Structure 1
Amino acid sequence: MKKIITGFSFIILIGILAACGSSSTSGSGNSDKDEVTIGYFPNIDHAAGMVAEDKGLYEEALPEGTDVNYQYFPDGSAFMTAIETGEIEGGIVGPGPAMNHFTSGAKINIVAAGATGGTVIMARNGADIESAEDIKGKTFISPRVGCTHDVQFETMMKNEFGITSDRLDGEMKHVTGKPATYSSMFESGKVDVAAVPEPWAAYIEAQGTGEVLFQNDEVAHNVNMPASVFVTSEKLKEKDPGMIQNLVDAHKKATDFVNENPEESKEIAIAQIKEITDQELSQEVVDSSWERMNFTYEVEANEIQMFADSSYELQFLEEKPNLNGLVDTTFIEE
């Protein structure tokens, strides 16, 4: 088993993590490919990927003798490029990059979910923010402009409180940065509010630099919309649907393991993140993160379409997207 970290060093890698057609299967699960590469981010909402690697579940599901490699990515765009070029056969990524690449013409499919939830809105200690109204005139941070967490936060603020960002001539200033740096940016007073993917909300709490302003179940598109999804290419689906079925079967088994064995899964996640990134998350941080996530492989196309519509309404997309064909639930139904 070969492991590859694509892109940058740990600080860049871990900071960017979490940013932003139906076909019948062969039924046999056979594949003529003797080497398969799986991609994911070493992040809490990708726990199924870490468990599958640790337990050798892809190796079990694929034909005997198949070599399974793992590749870790600095951001969703790099992951999606690897899917499109065939550098990897499948893996876990945020729904935002999958949606954006699909609307740009990429021939890819979401074949399962990875997790839901996990976005929390944090306020800096000392910023005098106790309600949404207090965010007017303040600076908020998200991993990227138009990323999953940015869309979730701005949708909530616009629809529920009538408050928008300076990008829309509103009263909130928006900046971007790596989630791993949010705690230090709170401490220095550089930002006031953060749309935070886990585990970084729990990390901020543990560091004592900020407090929860809106819990994960209060944030737009954060209950049923996937925080992570399992993606493959349409080209692979046409050429070797049996391989995709094998990969999804392993992913489902890993997800079930996560739900049935949370404490062992947490240990695996802590160990994998440390091995990949050289940073060890505390048990306290992982425990808090885990409570804000729901690990599931079930995915609903309408949830992702609603998220895409929100992106359009916030003017992150120039045209209203049609995501018909992006989600293929064939393989999770087998």
Structure 2
Amino acid sequence: MSNRRSILTKSLAILTAFAALAACSRAGGGDNAGTPADDKGPAAEVRLGYFPNVTHAAALIGVDKGYFAKELGGTKLTTQTFNAGPEAVNALLGESLDVSFIGSGPAINAYAKSKGEAIRLVSGATSGGAQLVVKPDIAAPADLKGKIITTPQLGNTQDVALKKWLSDQKLAIGTGPDQVNVTNTENAQSLDLFKRGDVHGAWAPEPWSSRLVLDAGAKVLLDEEALWEGGKFPTTVLIVRAKFLQEHPQTVEALLRGHLRATDYALGNKAEAKQVVNNALKTLTGKSLGEPVLDRAFDNIELTLDPQAKTFPRLAEDAVVAGVAKEAADVAGLADFTLLNKVLSAAGKPTVDTAGLDKK
């Protein structure tokens, strides 16, 4: 009996150890796109958000060319467009959206607002493509005093970038004659206001910065790429609701395959890709871009599935300096590139570095 008790005791100890190990593995979270217990198979429907901007070219192409739908197979694709990131964040946190192409700033904000629970960064989409463009008589940062500068929405990626830069230039934000008046206005409205002389500049994503320059006579005071090492910074990334990722990793993987196909198409067929994007913009906004604007906008962006993970700690700190956040968001655990690197490896492409962003 004593031997049997000893064997039973040892067996229970081993089982306990395995259970503890499994629990630790699940707690790590960042390395796993769901566990077998979470995985419910392909979703019946996936709701995808994106913006009618050139910086969202991969999304526009993926939808228009049917790359997402083809990869999703029997999963229904429903799409919704937004003016800026905070709107998409509200939809994600309200669970009326599953996946979204979005700016890096709102992605961090969504993660912070949900205390690291609600969303995961699963891919990049675009690097570059944002500029501070102003009236021709503005020659230096100091000339912005007393001027009105617009960004697409409070707390969006360009809003944070502008306010951080103004802080670096020792320029106060406000309505006084020695301050810079930063207002939040939809991109199309900013263009009209600039043409009328009601605003003096904008920190805008493509194609709006190019439209301001070529259609409204603005000039570039600063290209944001000048502020980043190698000129690379994440203008657009892809995020997914964490619960959706856990329950439907196959669906997220299918979307990533479609995303890769759209990006490869754009890189390999630039002229055709421009027309696809322009046609999509006309459908979504009612107006297509002139060829010079389209060419300039595409020249200012880099389509890439690499989200530049190493930039996210600095982006979180920038939001504090910009006065958009009270404290820097802890971005540890934000990223899960498991499925992205699986898709890239299967396509024979280099995998993406998480830069530690997948570890809590």
TM-score (norm 2): 0.78
Letter in 2 for 1:200: W
Residue 237 of structure 2 is aligned with which of 229, 235, 243? 229
Cross-structure match for 2:129: 118
Cross-structure match for 2:52: 42
Cross-structure match for 1:57: 67
Cross-structure match for 2:261: 253
Q: Which segments of 5 or more consecutive residues in structure 2 lack a partner in the other structure?
A: 1-28, 343-360
Q: Whole-Å Cα distance in 1 between the matches of residues 230 and 80 of structure 2? A: 27
Are residues 1:171 and 2:179 paired? Answer: yes
Q: Whole-Å Cα distance in 1 between the matches of residues 55 and 86 of structure 2? A: 17
Residue 78 of structure 2 is aligned with which of 46, 49, 69? 69
User: How far did residue 220 of structure 1 move?
Assistant: 6.0
Distance 1:199 1:99, change over 3 A: same
Mean Cα deviation higher: 302-311 or 73-82: 73-82
Find the residue that maps to 1:146 and give its secondary structure.
coil
Residue 87 of structure 1 is aligned with which of 86, 96, 105? 96
Contact preservation (8 Å) 1:138, 1:172: yes
4+ aligned runs moved over 4 Å, structure 1: 25-30, 167-170, 219-222
Cross-structure match for 2:8: none
Q: Whole-Å Cα distance in 1 between the matches of residues 159 and 87 of structure 2? A: 19
Contact preservation (8 Å) 1:115, 1:295: yes
Are residues 1:185 and 2:193 paired? Answer: yes
User: How far did residue 227 of structure 1 move?
Assistant: 0.8
Cross-structure match for 1:12: none
Matches within 5 A, 1:96-245: 96-105=105-114, 107-125=118-136, 128-159=137-168, 161-166=169-174, 171-219=179-227, 223-245=231-253
Q: Whole-Å Cα distance in 2 between the matches of residues 308 and 290 of structure 1? A: 27
Q: Whole-Å Cα distance in 1 between the matches of residues 35 and 118 of structure 2? A: 23
User: How far did residue 166 of structure 1 move?
Assistant: 2.5
User: How far did residue 156 of structure 1 move?
Assistant: 2.5
User: How far did residue 328 of structure 1 move?
Assistant: 1.6
Identity of aligned residues (%): 25
Q: Whole-Å Cα distance in 1 between the matches of residues 230 and 326 of structure 2? A: 24
Distance 1:178 1:78, change over 3 A: closer
Contact preservation (8 Å) 2:103, 2:156: no
Letter in 1 for 2:127: T
Cross-structure match for 1:4: none
User: How far did residue 146 of structure 1 move?
Assistant: 3.2
Find the residue that maps to 1:255 and give its secondary structure.
helix
CA deviation string 1:232-270 (max 9, x = no partner): 111012212222112112112211221121111111111
Q: Whole-Å Cα distance in 1 between the matches of residues 150 and 97 of structure 2? A: 31
Root mean square deviation of aligned Cα: 2.7
Q: Whole-Å Cα distance in 1 between the matches of residues 170 and 188 of structure 2? A: 29
Distance 1:206 1:173, change over 3 A: same
Cross-structure match for 1:267: 275
Point out the structure with max Rg over C-alpha: 2
Letter in 1 for 2:58: A
Distance 1:250 1:132, change over 3 A: same
Are residues 1:320 and 2:328 paired? Answer: yes
User: How far did residue 85 of structure 1 move?
Assistant: 4.1
Contact preservation (8 Å) 1:40, 1:93: yes
Letter in 2 for 1:180: A
Distance 1:282 1:27, change over 3 A: farther
Q: Whole-Å Cα distance in 2 between the matches of residues 154 and 81 of structure 1? A: 22
Cross-structure match for 1:295: 303
Letter in 2 for 1:273: L
Find the residue that maps to 2:240 and give its secondary structure.
strand
Cross-structure match for 1:3: none
Distance 1:172 1:32, change over 3 A: closer
Letter in 2 for 1:46: H
CA deviation string 1:199-233 (max 9, x = no partner): 11111122243111123422569932211111111
Q: Whole-Å Cα distance in 2 between the matches of residues 189 and 83 of structure 1? A: 36
Find the residue that maps to 2:231 and give its secondary structure.
coil
Mean Cα deviation higher: 251-260 or 111-120: 251-260
Letter in 2 for 1:165: I
